[in-house]
Structure 1
Amino acid sequence: MNRRLLLLMWIFGHLGNLQAQTPDTEPLLLNTYNQIIAYFPDIHVAGQYVELRRALEGHPFYGTNKMENGMVMISGYPFDGIPLQYDIWDDLLISFSPIFMQKMILNHLKIEKFQLHNGDTFVRKNENPGYYYHNNGFYREVVKGDIGLYCKHAKEKKQESSTIELRRYYNEIQKFFFEIDGKLVPAPRKKKVFELLHLPKKEAKQLLKSKGHKFKKHKEDYLKTLVLLANEKKNGYE
């Protein structure tokens, strides 16, 4: 145990100088770092992950409740093939330690970005004042540009009662945000979106109509189309 700790202390003591490594030593250090992330995630974690039994139907995870390989970006370096699972109830990114044979919580402060097996990419935003579900700050990246579009996924307890039984289950909620001048701005009601993005309403509506996007039925596609148009205009491609 002492030998392992000394090795890990040496490796992570040199990670701050990663940018200064020579072309010969950098791949070796990166490879070692990749192995440490996979096999000793406790170095980067807030502790062991234990899924609480909340007596709710479903699960607290984003998408599937299976852990699958993905990518984690730390200090600008992507590390692929990392087992990942995203708990959106508590906003926790989880990995698995084959050494300790248990799920471990990755330290959100060290994570810049992660990509799940299905290709969905999440980035960490430092703050979103007033938003209850901000938690650790992971938002799904929909559009990256001068104006960004991000979605916050969370789960809450929902219950429905009838004369026969009381049903309790996980209910997923989604909230979209524009990123304007480095700040997250909640996507407003339909009538206010064009004004916020400084888009000519007639042109924007014609584009949306041609794509068949409806605000309520296809909210993500609707907002994505408008953000892409706003970025084109902002960059002079009118």
Structure 2
Amino acid sequence: MSRQTAYRLRIILLFLASAEVLPCYTQSFRLSDITTLSPDKMLLNGRIWMNQYSKVTGTQFYLTDKYLKGSVYIKGHKYDDLDLRYDICNDELVLKYETWPVIYMNKELVDSFSVSFDRTHKIINTGINRSGMFGGYVNLLYSGPTSLYVKYTKKIYPLGDNGLKDLFVEKHYVFLKKNDKIVPVSNSKKFLKLLNDKKKEVRHFIKSKGYRVSSGKPETFVPILEFYDSLTN
């Protein structure tokens, strides 16, 4: 990136940081300009991030409040080895890039991203603007003939920390995609019911492997779906 381009982008970001009247999702470029942005400008297109929750117990971020190494796909361009945090309270991706101010990345540009923690966590942008349901950024746990998604969120409970401080509380919503339909999965019973066309085989598989499935641990659904899909291929 040239020094002149870097200087211009810094001015844009500083302007956005000072413009308090801007709506939460205002972007620094018009939508009509998105396809003309250079790869560097697409990566750094966003709003200045500021910590609004220093007095709340816990963190608004997914997995950890530390930056995680990851990759981002933006309009077909892949950017590797980035320092990322996923804010699941506001459903925003936070980027720390070299000496630049920390920013919320432009969600209208981001196709998907992944971060490394205990494993690689892949998050896709559904392009659907909904809160607390299947929309915005969702975690893709499994992809095959069926797919498994989890929407992670955090809410603030006033004085939830022993009546002294506000508290972040995490929730998640599980969704199964089957036959091009996305269905919420509220519990393991609902999950197994969605696989009823192979009920006998699925139940025998679970019993033989000693698996315990729970919507509280969505990852426990993955081996069941892998087996189910192997029957339908």
State whether TM-score is above 0.5.
yes
Cα 1:62–1:150, aligned 2, differ >3 Å: closer, same or farther? same
Answer yes or no: is the 8 Å Cα contact 1:68–1:84 preserved in 2. Answer: yes
Distance (whole Å) between structure 1 residues aligned to residue 3 and residue 165 of structure 2: 50
State percent identity of aligned pairs: 22
Distance (whole Å) between structure 2 residues aligned to residue 2 and residue 177 of structure 1: 46
Q: Which residue of 2 aligns with 1:49?
A: 49
Cα 1:169–1:96, aligned 2, differ >3 Å: closer, same or farther? same
Distance (whole Å) between structure 1 residues aligned to residue 166 and residue 8 of structure 2: 48
Distance (whole Å) between structure 2 residues aligned to residue 191 and residue 58 of structure 1: 32
Q: Which residue of 1 aligns with 2:23?
A: none
Q: Which residue of 2 aligns with 1:184?
A: 182
Q: Deviations over 1:91-113 (max 9, x none)?
A: 1001124344x211111111111
Q: Which runs of 5 or more residues in structure 2 are unaligned?
A: 10-31
Q: Which residue of 2 aligns with 1:21?
A: none
Cα 1:136–1:176, aligned 2, differ >3 Å: closer, same or farther? closer
Answer yes or no: is the 8 Å Cα contact 2:123–2:137 preserved in 1. Answer: yes
Distance (whole Å) between structure 1 residues aligned to residue 52 and residue 36 of structure 2: 39
Distance (whole Å) between structure 2 residues aligned to residue 205 and residue 220 of structure 1: 18
Q: Aligned pair count?
A: 207
TM-score (norm 2): 0.73
TM-score (norm 1): 0.72
Rg larger for: 1
Q: Which residue of 2 aligns with 1:24?
A: none
Tell me how far 1:220 sits from its aligned partner: 2.0
Distance (whole Å) between structure 1 residues aligned to residue 222 and residue 146 of structure 2: 10
Q: Which residue of 2 aligns with 1:144?
A: 143
SS in 2 for 1:222: helix
Distance (whole Å) between structure 2 residues aligned to residue 93 and residue 136 of structure 1: 14
Distance (whole Å) between structure 1 residues aligned to residue 135 and residue 102 of structure 2: 18
Tell me how far 1:69 sits from its aligned partner: 2.5
Does 2:82 correspond to 1:82?
yes
Q: Which residue of 2 aligns with 1:59?
A: 59
| Code of the aligned partner of 1:191 | K
Distance (whole Å) between structure 2 residues aligned to residue 104 and residue 180 of structure 1: 36
Distance (whole Å) between structure 2 residues aligned to residue 16 and residue 126 of structure 1: 17
Over aligned residue pairs, what C-alpha RMSD do you find? 3.5
Answer yes or no: is the 8 Å Cα contact 2:213–2:220 preserved in 1. Answer: yes
SS in 1 for 2:102: strand
Does 2:228 correspond to 1:230?
yes
Q: Which residue of 2 aligns with 1:202?
A: 200
Distance (whole Å) between structure 2 residues aligned to residue 134 and residue 184 of structure 1: 11
Answer yes or no: is the 8 Å Cα contact 1:73–1:79 preserved in 2. Answer: yes
SS in 2 for 1:227: helix
Q: Which residue of 1 aligns with 2:21?
A: none
| Code of the aligned partner of 1:222 | T
Moved more, 188-197 or 107-116: 188-197
Within-5 A mapping of 1:5-16: none
